[in-house]
Amino acid sequence: MSAPRLLLGFDYGTRQIGVAVGQAITGQARELCVLKAQNGVPDWSQLERLIAEWQPDALVVGLPLNMDGSPSEMSERALKFARRLHGRFNLPVHSHDERLTTFEAKGQRLREGQRGGYRERPVDALAAALLLEGWLAEHSQRD
| 143 residues of the chain, pLDDT tens digit each | 567 799 999 999 999 999 999 999 999 999 999 999 999 999 999 999 999 999 999 999 999 988 888 888 899 999 999 999 999 999 999 999 887 665 555 555 545 544 444 445 578 888 899 999 999 998 885 43
> Does the pTM exceed 0.85?
no
What are the Cα distances from residue 39, in Å, to 16, 36, 45, 83? 9, 10, 17, 17
Residue 10, CA distances (Å) to 54, 76, 93, 113 in order: 14, 15, 10, 25
**Distances, alpha carbon 104 to alpha carbons 61, 94, 111, in Å:** 17, 21, 10
At 14, the amino acid letter reads T
Nearest to 8 by CA among 48, 66, 40: 48
pLDDT at 98: 83
In this structure, the number of other CB atoms found within 10 A of the CB of residue 115 comes to 8
Beta strands 6-11 and 58-63 are parallel
Cα 17 from Cα 141, distance rounded (Å): 28
Tell me the C-alpha distance between 72 and 76, whole Å.
8
pLDDT of residue 73: 86
Domain boundaries, the chain: 6-138
Q: What is the pLDDT of residue 116?
A: 47
- Please state which CATH number belongs to domain 6-138: 3.30.420.140
pLDDT of residue 139: 87
Res 26: pLDDT: 92
